[in-house]
Each structure stands twice: as structure tokens, then as C-alpha cells.
Amino acid sequence: MCGIFGYWDRQNRSLHDDALHAMALRLQHRGPDNEGIAHAPARGVAIGNRRLSIIDVGGGHQPMYSDDRQIAVVQNGEIFNYIELAQELREQGVLLKTASDTEVILRLYEQEGIGFLRRLNGMFAIAIDDAREDALYLMRDRIGVKPLYYRDDGQRMLFGSEIKSFLPLAQVNTAQTAINLVAIDHYLTFNYIPAPWTIWQGVHHVMPGTWMKFTRGAHVQTQRWWSLADQQEQDYEYGDWQRLLLRTLNDATKIRLRADVPWGAFLSGGVDSSTIVGLMARHVSAPVKTFCIGFADPRYDESAFAQQAAERFGCDHTMEVAELNMLARWPHVLHHLDQPHGDASFMPTLRVSELAAKHVKVVLTGDGADELFAGYDKYAQFFAQPGISELDDASFQRRYFESISLFSPQAKAALYRPEIAKHITDQMQGHDSFTQAAKPWFDEAQHFDRVNQALYLDMQLLLSGNNLVKPDRMGMAVSIEARTPFLDVRMMELAFRSRGVTKLSTDGDKKHWYKKAVTPLIGEALANRKKQMFTVPIGEWFKNESHDWLKQTLQKSELLEQYFHGRAVDLMLEQHQNGSANHTRELRALAALAIWANGHGA
């Protein structure tokens, strides 16, 4: 796990080494162990790395170079099948000088070119400077576990694992970076900003499953090298599916135990984390180190379930009771996110990451299972509505989109100041968040059944835009790596070959076959316990002890005053406090935007 960064200048202008070192320092939390930069000033290109040493601690320093030093590689992440790939290379006569997965990337690229990406099973963001072609490649893993951002003004491209790594250079060397109001509109729709948009104009994501090639010309070559939509649903007998699921998930977990440093797992006692810990325990001789936080309020405390799972699998379990009101942590969380996110669960995720970081450098998590196997209550609630099955495709898509939206178009219209609304309308050119951000994914998924269409949208938007940001940024804030066995490529493809009825049964049972499959491993009680969201009672704080804080945060925000009608915000505050409406999610999103803007001077 690391942070990567760099630049590509089409006029061969070089950045000063001090500027590159400053980029590295802004990513030091992602890689506290060492720093490396491959800089070719005469060509106007550099790629750099801040390393968190996990595999081949002594020999895996980055960048890695080809023998003739014409190719340089840096990566953020891990290639979990690197041992098997290294063996294949040796059998072909390739001499490997390290035991590092980064060298495997280098040698595969030498052998196969950019097509090597399909061979990788891992989470990664990679930069390759190929002087033979005078080209720079950026590439990202299949579903976006690892982040990668860039800004290209047509003359110089800057990139990094986090926006903060290069944003000061973008502001100094080009026109002042400005807030992207279209991204604000999407944020109010989704509670996060979906890729490829970011809060800053001109700053974009390298999209998941995509590589980009920068050369001296103005044209940038972009190619999607993997798509989950390539899967076709199949009919399985339950017994065959159960064996395939357990075999696949077991191996996905096993290869994610490859590390030369201490590792453990987040354990909430839910079906997903319990399953991962149960599989981990099969492959080790010492107890698995597990971590959870508890709360004094029993409505939000899962620690008893985590303890039950830890005892079942003989874990070395660590639990701490955390402070319930975590609002003081919010500015720190948003600093690491680089963008506003309205999800309050980032705060307890940071807290459990801090706990784990005292003991390990790697944790396995259960992230991704809810999106793969329909684990959220919203799926059962949506598909239980009368008439859903009778809707045509366009109506179904729009209805599902509306069900997951935060602010409706009407609510946004009431919130925006007229000049802001006009600017957004002009910029979106007749589109809205549905047609811009959601419909393209629905179009890809039309061959799936309705349940899988909804899950596919959430895989592409919610998972990569919010839920995977959480373990990456909060883990990296304290320099630990989070690994997600459910997002092994084989698991994702199996899930989307499985029909929706295997996930959400006709009577509304969520994770239907998956829970049955893992019950022998984790037990009936853990497999079928009611899902409990990992969050905090922020709505109650907004109504009671933190109402004055919230009011001050919203009313004193220059950005909110510039964009939104103050009376519309005040009305939400009043209705929420007096109980006539529950505006928790809307107020949370506005508060996150205000806190983020205050910290970034926006």
C-alpha cells in the first residue's frame, strides 16, 4: 500500500525536485516507510511513490526500473496473485531480482505490454513511464479499490493517489482551480460525488478498470480494460453455487494473507466480517487478530456479536468502547477525503482503524458483499413496493434512482440561489444526475435482471464513489492497508453470473443464498442476525446537544451562503429540531460540505 504521484509535461518542461518532494510529503501518511522518485527532467516527466512496506519489506523499494532503465513503475496497492505470476515468469526464463509484486508488474509489462493488466488479481493504481515510447500510462484496478486522480490542462498533466498531492501545483501553474458546481449538484443527489467528477473543475478520476496513455500530442488514449457488465447470468443449482462460492471466497481470503508484516481483520460480528475471519482462521496457526469498537448506546453497539464471532474462531480480539459523539473528528476525516462526503460512518471507521494500527499494518474487511449480494434494507424495501415488477425499463431505472437520491430535483431547486441554478443548468445542458451519472451504467446492465441492475449501479457509483473510499482513506490516514476479499475479480464475476433471486428472494430475504452458504461456517445466529449499519446517531445530535453547533456551522459557511438560500437551510434546521421532519441526511451532507470548504479555503 502506498501513495503515487507525478507529472507529464507535453513541452518537456520540468518540475523542480522540491515540488516533487512536496507532492510526496502530502502522501506521507499513505507511505511512511520511504520515498522514491523517477525523474527525467529533460523529458518533463516524473513518477513517484511513498511506500508502506508490506511485501518484500527490504527489497520492494519503488520506483522499479527495467534493466536498461527505459521503463519505470510505481504502484499503490497489492497484486495478490504475484507469487503465481512470478513463477510463470521464472519458467519463461525471466530473472526476478526481488520478491516484490511491483517487479512482477514491471516484468509482465516488458513481456506483454499494457495487456498484462488482465493477468492481475489485486487492488492497484499504477503509473508506468515508458521512455521507449515517450509515454506515461496511468491504470486503475477493476472496481476502484485504489484511488487515482489527475488534472490535465492540455500542457501538463499532474496525478496522485489523493487530490491534495498535486492540487497546490495545479493552482499555481494554471488558472486558479475552481469549485465544480455540476459536482455539487451530483453530491446533493448521491451524498458523495460520483466518478469521474470531483469537487474541483478539471480534476478527474482515472476510472476503475481503465488505463490512460499520455503522449506529446493533445490526444489522450483511454481504454476500459475490464467491465463487470461482460458477465452473463446463469442458472445454478444451489449446492453447486455454494461450493463455488466457498471455494472462491476461501482462496480470495487466503491470497490476501500474503504479507511480510503483521495483519488482522475488522470484525463487527456481521455476516460479512465474520465470514472473512472464519476463512482466515483456516489458514493460520496463530489466532487471527481482530478489532472492533463498541458504543455505550446499545442501539449502535455491535461488540457483543463481534465477541461471539471472535470466540467461535479463537481470535486474539481487541475491543475498545469509543466516544459516541465524534463530531470533533469530522474536519480531520474530511481532510483525508479531499472532498465532501455526507456519510457519517467514516468517523467510526477512522476510530477502528486507529485501534488496529496499534497492532498491525494490514486488515481484511467485509466490504463489497452488500453490493454484490443485496445486503442493504433498501433493496428489500424497493422491490417490495407494489407495481415495481410491472414498470418498463425506463420507469424502473428512474424509480430506483429516485429511491437512492438524497435531494430531489425539486428540493435542489428550492435550495439553490438563482444564479447557481442557472449555472448548473447551463453546464449540464439539459441533463440531470440521472442521465449524466446513472443512466450510462444502467444502459450497460440492461441484460441483467432487475435486482442485478440495481446492484450494478451501486457497484459502479456507491461502492467506488463512497464505500471503498472509506476503508482506503481512513486506513491510510493511520498507515494501515485494508484488503477486501469479496472484491476479488473471481468473486465479483461469480456474483454477477448469479441471478437476482439468489440474492434477494421473492419474500425479501437479503443475501439469500450467500447467507445459507456461510451458515455452516459462522453459525445460524451470526448468519441471520439483523443487519446493523456501522454508524453513529448523528440525527439525534443535530436535534439535541449539537444543534447549536450545526446551526453555526451551516449559517457561517461562506460557501453555503454563496450557493444556497439561507431560508431553505434554516427551514430544514427548524423542522429537524421540532420533529416535524427528519432531515438528518440532508443536514449531514450540507454540514460536510461546509466543514470541507472551511478546511480548504473554498
Domain assignment present for residue 391? The answer is: no
Domain holding 59: CATH number?
3.60.20.10
Residue range(s) defining the domain that contains residue 493: 233-375+466-527
- Please check whether residues 304 and 162 belong to one and the same domain: no
Banded model confidence at residue 177, pLDDT cuts 50, 70, 90:
low
Domain assignment present for residue 406? The answer is: no
* Among candidate residues 27, 63, 32, 67, the one with its CA nearest the CA of residue 47: 63
Grid cell for residue 278:
472464519
Burial class (CB in 10 A: 0-12, 13-18, 19+), 524: exposed
In the predicted model, what is the mean pLDDT of residues 137-153? 97
pLDDT value, residue 296: 80
Q: What are phi and psi of 532, to 5 degrees?
A: -125, 120
Tell me the C-alpha distance between 519 and 530, whole Å.
14
In the predicted model, what is the mean pLDDT of residues 64-70? 97
Domain assignment present for residue 195? The answer is: yes
Banded model confidence at residue 532, pLDDT cuts 50, 70, 90:
low
Banded model confidence at residue 326, pLDDT cuts 50, 70, 90:
confident
* Among candidate residues 189, 231, 147, 229, the one with its CA nearest the CA of residue 441: 229
- Please check whether residues 282 and 161 belong to one and the same domain: no
In the predicted model, what is the mean pLDDT of residues 509-518? 97
Domain assignment present for residue 204? The answer is: yes
DSSP symbol at 582 = -
pLDDT value, residue 1: 66
The residues annotated with a catalytic role in the active site are 2
Tell me the C-alpha distance between 500 and 509, whole Å.
11
Domain assignment present for residue 455? The answer is: no
Dump pLDDT digits (tens) for 362-415: 999 999 999 999 999 999 999 999 999 999 999 999 999 999 999 999 999 999
- Please check whether residues 152 and 261 belong to one and the same domain: no
Question: If DSSP codes are grouped into helix, strand and coil, which group holds residue 515?
Answer: helix
- Please check whether residues 100 and 151 belong to one and the same domain: yes
Banded model confidence at residue 141, pLDDT cuts 50, 70, 90:
very high
- Please check whether residues 276 and 335 belong to one and the same domain: yes
Q: Which residues pair with 160 in a beta bridge?
A: 5, 149
pLDDT at 7 over 80: yes
Q: How far apart are the first and last CA of the chain?
A: 30
- Please check whether residues 68 and 33 belong to one and the same domain: yes
- Please check whether residues 475 and 570 belong to one and the same domain: no
pLDDT at 444 over 50: yes
Give the count of domains, the chain: 3
Tell me the C-alpha distance between 229 and 264, whole Å.
33
Domain holding 360: CATH number?
3.40.50.620
- Please check whether residues 251 and 291 belong to one and the same domain: yes
- Please check whether residues 77 and 170 belong to one and the same domain: yes
Q: Which residues pair with 210 in a beta bridge?
A: 224
Domain assignment present for residue 431? The answer is: no
pLDDT value, residue 176: 47
- Please check whether residues 100 and 210 belong to one and the same domain: yes
Dihedral sign for Cα 425, 431, 434, 437, please.
negative
Tell me the C-alpha distance between 280 and 459, whole Å.
25
Task: Please tell me the pTM assigned to this model.
Answer: 0.96
Name the domain boundary from 200, 226, 252.
226
pLDDT at 89 over 70: yes
* Among candidate residues 515, 538, 583, 525, the one with its CA nearest the CA of residue 300: 538
pLDDT at 174 over 60: no
Domain assignment present for residue 395? The answer is: no
Q: What are phi and psi of 502, to 5 degrees?
A: -75, -15
Name the domain boundary from 507, 527, 547.
527
- Please check whether residues 144 and 56 belong to one and the same domain: yes
- Please check whether residues 550 and 489 belong to one and the same domain: no
DSSP-assigned states of every residue in 122-181: EEEEEEEEETTTTEEEEEE-SS-SS--EEEE-SSEEEEESSGGGTHHHHHHHSSPP-B-H
Domain assignment present for residue 118? The answer is: yes
